Amino acid sequence: MRLLLFLAFLVVPVLEIWALIQVGQVIGGPLTVSLLLADSLLGAWIVRREGRRAWQSLQTALQGGRMPDRELADGAMIVAGGTLLLTPGFLTDVAGFLLVLPFTRPLMRRLGTWFFARRIRTLAARAAGPGLAFGTPFGPMGASFDEAARGRAGGSGPVIHGQVIHDEPAGPAPRDSGRDLTGR
């Protein structure tokens, strides 16, 4: 992830400069600067309008007693899109408009949901160890949680015979002296 962020902060400015040079060669320098100012002003107006709409829908959802998941996602996308629109450059402006415009935001929300769900599954599989990587909690031939709760694995996995060895002292277990944790 760090490498991806590093490359983004390295590659995006270079691509932005390249795009500015290309547009400047076609339409000229003053017109390129005017176009950057115009799309920043248009972006600021759209961010303000859509931010107000997102705030109103968030308040409506909260007053209605339902979880405002879509409204919070829209608000986050508007903030991110506004940040990209304030960054000088045409490529970041395109990404910003995709996040801010009301007819492209649902597509970006679905894309973000897919990305974060995939990332969470990957992190969960790493944290759980090799068992979840094969699709079951106890490994490729193990029982699922439901089967383990019933007491018998439904699969045809190998049976491992063994003996339980207790490493307990031979004498009687120590008795509780009746004192509480403070020693009284």
Asked if the structure places residue 121 within a domain, the reply is yes
Rounded to an integer, the average pLDDT of 33-49 is: 93
Q: Is 89 exposed, middle or buried (0-12, 13-18, 19+ CB in 10 A)?
A: buried
Question: 83 or 182: whose pLDDT is higher?
Answer: 83
Does 60 score more than 60 pLDDT? yes
Residues 114 and 96 placed together within one structural domain of the fold: no
Give yes or no for a contact between 96 and 83, defined as CB atoms under 8 angstroms apart: yes
Does 102 score more than 60 pLDDT? yes
Residues 15 and 50 placed together within one structural domain of the fold: yes
User: What's phi and psi for 168, nearest 5 deg?
Assistant: -100, 150
Q: At what angle do helices 2-27 and 90-100 cross, to 10 degrees?
A: 110
Asked if the structure places residue 156 within a domain, the reply is no
Residues 64 and 42 placed together within one structural domain of the fold: yes
Give yes or no for a contact between 59 and 66, defined as CB atoms under 8 angstroms apart: no
Of 69, 102, 135, the last residue of a domain is 102
Arithmetic mean of pLDDT over the chain: 80
Residues 98 and 16 placed together within one structural domain of the fold: yes
pLDDT band at 108 (very low <50, low <70, confident <90, very high): very high
Distance (Å) of CA 122 to CA 118, 125, 128, 129, 144: 6, 5, 10, 11, 20
Of 67, 102, 137, the last residue of a domain is 102
Q: What is the pLDDT of residue 156?
A: 62
The type of residue at 58 is: L
Rounded to an integer, the average pLDDT of 71-96 is: 92
Helices first, then strands: H and E counts in the chain = 7, 0
Asked if the structure places residue 159 within a domain, the reply is no
pLDDT band at 103 (very low <50, low <70, confident <90, very high): very high
- Total domains in the fold of the chain: 2
Q: Which domain holds residue 55?
A: 11-102
Q: What is the pLDDT of residue 129?
A: 64
Does 146 score more than 50 pLDDT? no
Question: 167 or 9: whose pLDDT is higher?
Answer: 9
Question: 97 or 173: whose pLDDT is higher?
Answer: 97
Residues 94 and 144 placed together within one structural domain of the fold: no
Asked if the structure places residue 170 within a domain, the reply is no
Does 31 score more than 60 pLDDT? yes
Residues 80 and 112 placed together within one structural domain of the fold: no
Q: What is the pLDDT of residue 167?
A: 73
Residues 96 and 17 placed together within one structural domain of the fold: yes
pLDDT band at 131 (very low <50, low <70, confident <90, very high): low
Residues 67 and 31 placed together within one structural domain of the fold: yes
